[in-house]
Amino acid sequence: MDETAAFERRKSELLKTRLAMPYQIQKCATWRHFQEFLRRQPDRPSEDNCSGDQVVNYLISADSRGKTIVHSMKCKRPLSTLCSCPVRLAFKTVDSTIGRLRSAFNDLGREGRDNPAAARTVKTYLKDVTNEQLMVGLVPEQAVPVFSGKLRVVSLAMLRALRDAEGILRFSLLRTRAMLLVAMVSLQRGKQLGETRTQSIMRFPDGQGLLFNYVFGKTLRNGTKHVFGILRSEDAVMCPVTAVDEYVRGAAKLGVKLGGHGRYLFPPCRNGKVCAGPLKSAQLDEDLKYWLTRCQIFEGETVHGMRSGGSIEKSLSGESLHGVMKLAYWKSPRMAKHYMKEWQVLCASVAGAEPPQGAEPLDYVRMNQMIGFCTAFPNK
């Protein structure tokens, strides 16, 4: 009896670990939305007898959450202006949603031809929406890059705010500043930083840097490691190592324990208290937007834009494409150039040149949104 209980306990532990993974959380959320959709249907089909047609109907209803404008052939407005054309889910989002539903049905035992999300009608729908969006010449937008000039303004504003900040507000300020400065020099995703475990960080022997060792994340599978270091700089306003040290010391003074096995370095705050678990990337995005807006320099930037802005600045300072790829953990030159190609259009700089200050993000936005562009051959 004791042995049977041990088996069940072990299975329960592994299930709990699996359900806590980011993909499983996304899959569960999609599955809940799909179940709610089925309950709203007149015939109220269940998960056991629904078909591919219900999956397609759910995907169509999900267009209400989309942000991609699909221009019709009759649309005469320039691509940079607003129009009355429908807004849809991007075809890649549709593809990933189908994948999560297919996995959820597999978990229920509906595999192969019995899986509604793998039905021919669903595949045809994905192909049709893909063709629809590609045929109208959609120009995919990239994240607006965040350059060090703007981050310096934000860092200075946060340092001024820290003079009078106390309690949980002070903890939040120290944490956000440390994460933003680390993100700028390391080119890591906000989500990856939020999931940083304290035990995955080591200090250089001379104290001049920190070594991060990631073994799990979006691009890491099957025990692959991603190790990178951040160095201390003489610029106290922009030094990520100093910011992390100040954050850890500040947390200790407030009674927040960050060290120990299994703890996250950057925990979130809720209802005036520090909670266990990782900080969500969306929260870091909100923090960055708040401070950019407060400094009156917000132009649509997100934390993801630090990867493109940082890679551009490293490239202009003489870093090789391979070096940028290794730091940002891009698997191919094609992926790296995807984040850097807009700069090549906007600025014919050579390696070692300093990026211009002030106007570069606005210029990027103008190109990214195609402001001033119009149809070359309008209907007459």
pLDDT higher for 200 or 175? 175
Say which range, 15-19, 270-274, 284-288, has the weakest mean pLDDT: 15-19
The CATH architecture to which 148-304 belongs is Orthogonal Bundle (1.10)
Half-sphere exposure at residue 286, Cβ-oriented, CA atoms within 13 angstroms? 7
Q: What is the DSSP letter of 197?
A: B
Q: Which residue has the tokens 């005036």?
A: 272
Spell out where the chain has E strands: 68-69, 87-88, 201-203, 209-214, 226-231, 269-270, 273-274
Confidence of residue 344 (pLDDT cuts 50, 70, 90): very low
| pLDDT over 50 at 84, yes or no | yes
pTM above 0.75, yes or no: no
**Of 82, 134, 84, 74, which is closest to residue 379 (Cα–Cα)?**
74
**In the prediction, which pLDDT does 352 show?**
37
For 240-265, how does the pLDDT look when each residue is reduced to its tens digit (9 = 90+)? 999 999 999 999 898 888 877 778 88
**In the prediction, which pLDDT does 347 show?**
47
Q: Residue 346 and residue 364: Cα distance in Å, rounded?
A: 7
Dihedral of the CA atoms 62, 63, 68, 74 (nearest 10)? 170
For 284-321, how does the pLDDT look when each residue is reduced to its tens digit (9 = 90+)? 999 999 999 999 999 888 888 888 788 777 777 776 66
Cβ contact 202:213 at 8 Å: yes
Cβ contact 91:133 at 8 Å: yes
DSSP 84-136: S--EE--HHHHHHHHHHHHHHHHHTT--GGG-GGGSHHHHHHHHHHHHHHHHT
**In the prediction, which pLDDT does 158 show?**
96
Q: How far is CA 32 from CA 26, 59, 122, 131, 169, in A?
A: 10, 14, 19, 29, 35
Q: Indicate the pairing of strand 209-214 with strand 201-203.
A: antiparallel
Length of the chain, in residues: 380
- CB-based burial, 103-141: b 16+ in 10 Å, e otherwise: bbbeeeebeeeebbbbbeebeebbeebeeebeeeebeee
Q: What percent of the chain has pLDDT over 90?
A: 29
Q: What is the DSSP letter of 138?
A: -
Confidence of residue 42 (pLDDT cuts 50, 70, 90): confident
Confidence of residue 85 (pLDDT cuts 50, 70, 90): confident
Query: Which residues are CB-neighbours of 233 under 8 A, at least 6 positions away?
Result: 239, 241
Q: Which two tokens stand for residue 44?
A: 């109220």
Helices 120-135 and 91-107 sit at what angle, rounded to 10 degrees? 170
Q: Residue 229 and residue 175: Cα distance in Å, rounded?
A: 19
**In the prediction, which pLDDT does 374 show?**
46
For 216-248, how does the pLDDT look when each residue is reduced to its tens digit (9 = 90+)? 554 445 555 567 778 888 898 999 999 999 999
274 bridge partner residues: 269
Domain boundaries, the chain: 2-135, 148-304
**Of 267, 269, 272, 244, which is closest to residue 179 (Cα–Cα)?**
244
